[in-house]
Chains A and B, each alone.
Chain A
Amino acid sequence: MKPVLLIDFGSTYTKLTAVDVDSEQILGTAAAYTTVQTDINDGLNKGLAILRQKTGDIEFSECYACSSAAGGLRMVTSGLVPELTSEAARLASLGAGAKVVGVYSFQLTEDDIEDIKETKPDIFLLVGGTDGGNTECILHNAKMLAEMKPSFPIVIAGNRSCARQCQRLLEGCEVYVCENVMPKFGVLNITPTQKKIREIFLNRIVLAKGLSKITSLLSDIMMPTPSAVLQAMNLLAQGCDEETGIGDLVAVDVGGATTDIYSIADGMPKAANTVYKGLPEPFSKRTVEGDIGMRYSINGIVEATSIQRVSEISGLSVSRAEELIKYLSENTDKVPENDGDDLRKLDFALASLAVETAVMRHAGTMEETYTMMGLTYVQAGKDLSGVKQVILTGGSIIHSPDAADIARSALYSPMHPMSLRPKEADIWVDRKYILAAMGLLSVHYPGAALRIMKKELEKNGYSKQENL
């Protein structure tokens, strides 16, 4: 037996997963409140005590952790054109597991600098211009940032022609130079920047957020939680040397405040009569919907859809739905208790709409255009219609008996024919909430992590939206 402990320091809960990598089994899971304000070890020790009640007294040979505690990894980015380098910077930050709290385009103004001071990001990502392209914007922005004497580290990943010049302008600040996120027009190169962001997170942010006290216990890995989930999803889709993956997938993580979507798929046009528009998107893509969540962002779901649809799906009257939504937004820790009660019906509707909205924003769109040459299709964003696997996770819904039905809202619907969501897919539900833990485990034990996921994710059968 070789027990490994995997810890996820969440904003609310510290979640522990104990795994035996020899027999490839989960020994137990436990959760306790995160105690970042006092000593993060308090919550951890409490969780460990609960875990040991289940597993007995075991000694862990290794221990790895990820964290989204204390606000997670908060980043601000600045680029040149909104649809091009600014978007590349945003995609790079999201893929590195960051919470993007500000995106700027073109030259930073004095007001922008004031806002950035206020925001106090953990890392600033400064980009702009293709290699050999525009230098004016990024140099201006470097100068503006230098004047504010930033206390946060700055990653420069813009036009290589002036990277060193930017670095000189920012002398005295903590600066890292990376390869350009968009070296050529329409070419994304975000991996080097993401690697750097993770390094800074490990070396600097972890210390700053009071998480260093636990490093004595930790072996070596520390990453933002969404980054761990993205690693798990990459492994599950693509497999590793010793085990094949399940193929292209879409994963939905519905939380209390935000909803994260991951897609592992190429998503480029398949047909010859389809023209692709805009920046090509990363193979492993993550997006976060800050206004879509089951409790703190409950009103965001209604605003993005409508109270009529909530009422329709839940079977509750509009006034009853409104009343319950108001109640839940004030009592964010309430969860449905009994099958068939109004709260459960409402939660089902909210979760379905959260999944639908977030996946629609993540997936690409297809438009029909008539040209002189006949019907042509214009695609923007990723075409996920051929993806055959959908994974559902998120503490607030994985315990719902309706989880598989909720996940079906991720699929294509005739109501939104332009949205390139999966047409039909196997639904997997992460009942034990192990994705982040498996992402951590996969760094050293990819085979074991993959086989455990295949075993533990509950497959809810082949599903497709009706009326297809």
Chain B
Amino acid sequence: MEQRKKVLVIGVIGADVHAVGNKILYHAFTQAGFEVVNLGVMVSQEEYIAAAIESNADAIVISSLYGQGELDCQGMREKCNEAGLKDIPLVVGGNIVIGKHDFAEVEKRFIAMGFDRAFPPGTAPETTIQALRELLHMED
């Protein structure tokens, strides 16, 4: 029996319609051997969770490009726990806050919100793929 691929649920959160990066990530993750459930743009927290339940996802990858990411992501971990997705890895990346901030600070804030990893703008897909492999204990 062939081994089950790791399943990622991806999408752009909130009232954000930046579709290009989302498509690039979809192709990059698929190429890297993941099974990708792509929810596209303007995704609500509930939609990520519903998709992750049905597809028995291994991780949720949230993108945000329009600066409201912190607001949109608040409560995501709690909702996942409530829905039975306890300890599902949550990864976030993009222009997740407005203005110039030290990213280490930003990352800390997202980790405090229950995210496992946060990535700054301009992160290469390979970096995220590597992080996901580590998070999901995948062997090369």
Contact = CB atoms under 8 A, between A and B. Distances in A.
A376 B16 CA distance: 10
A133 B15 contact: no
B4 interface: yes
A129 interface: yes
A83 interface: yes
A135 interface: yes
Given A372-B66, A373-B17, A134 B56 contact: yes
B116 interface: no
A369 interface: yes
A391 to B, nearest CB: 34
Contacts of A129: 54-56
B54 A81 contact: yes
B120 interface: no
B72 interface: no
A431 to B, nearest CB: 45
Interface residues of A, number: 24
A80 B85 CA distance: 14
A185 interface: yes
A84 B15 contact: no
B16 to A, nearest CB: 7
Nearest to B67: A372
B15 A132 contact: no
Given A275-B40, A371-B66, A376-B42, A130 B16 contact: no
Given A369-B15, A376-B17, A133 B56 contact: yes
Nearest to A182: B54
What range describes how many residues of B lie at the interface? 20 to 34
B70 interface: no
Interface string B43-70: 0000100110111110000000011000
Contacts of A370: 15
Contact of B50 (A81, A275, A376, A378): A81
A376 B22 CA distance: 18
Interface string B61-84: 000001100000000000000000
Decide if the interface of chain A is mainly helix, strand, loop or mixed.
Answer: loop
Contact of A371 (B16, B37, B40, B47): B16
Interface in A178-204: 182, 184-185
Interface in A319-376: 369-373, 376
B41 interface: yes
Nearest to B65: A372
A81 B53 contact: yes
A270 interface: no
A135 B7 CA distance: 14
Nearest to A136: B56
Nearest to B19: A275
A85 B50 CA distance: 10
Given A81-B50, A132-B35, A371 B17 contact: yes
A130 B54 contact: yes
Nearest to A79: B54
Decide if the interface of chain B is mainly helix, strand, loop or mixed.
Answer: loop
Nearest to A135: B56
B98 to A, nearest CB: 11
Contact of A85 (B9, B18, B54, B56): B54
B15 A185 contact: no
Contacts of B39: 185
Nearest to B1: A161
Interface in A125-167: 128-130, 132-135
Nearest to A131: B55
A416 interface: no
Contacts of B15: 369-372, 376
Nearest to B4: A132
A129 B57 CA distance: 11
B17 A133 contact: no
Contacts of A444: none
Nearest to A84: B54
Contact of A80 (B7, B18, B47, B53): B53
A26 B129 CA distance: 67
A410 to B, nearest CB: 30
B20 to A, nearest CB: 12
Contacts of A81: 50, 53-54
B53 A134 contact: yes
A134 B54 CA distance: 5
Interface string B26-37: 000000000101
Given A275-B40, A275-B41, A372-B66, A132 B17 contact: no
Given A371-B17, A372-B16, A372-B66, A80 B42 contact: no
B55 A80 contact: no
Nearest to B5: A132
Contacts of B50: 81, 83-84
A134 B18 CA distance: 30
Contacts of B57: 133
Nearest to A376: B17
A275 B17 contact: yes
A79 to B, nearest CB: 9
Interface of B: 4-5, 7, 9, 15-18, 35, 37, 39-42, 47, 50-51, 53-57, 66-67
12 contacts: A84-B51, A128-B54, A129-B55, A129-B56, A132-B7, A134-B53, A134-B54, A185-B9, A275-B17, A372-B15, A372-B17, A373-B17
Given A185-B39, A378-B42, 7 more contacts: A80-B54, A130-B37, A132-B55, A133-B56, A133-B57, A185-B9, A369-B42
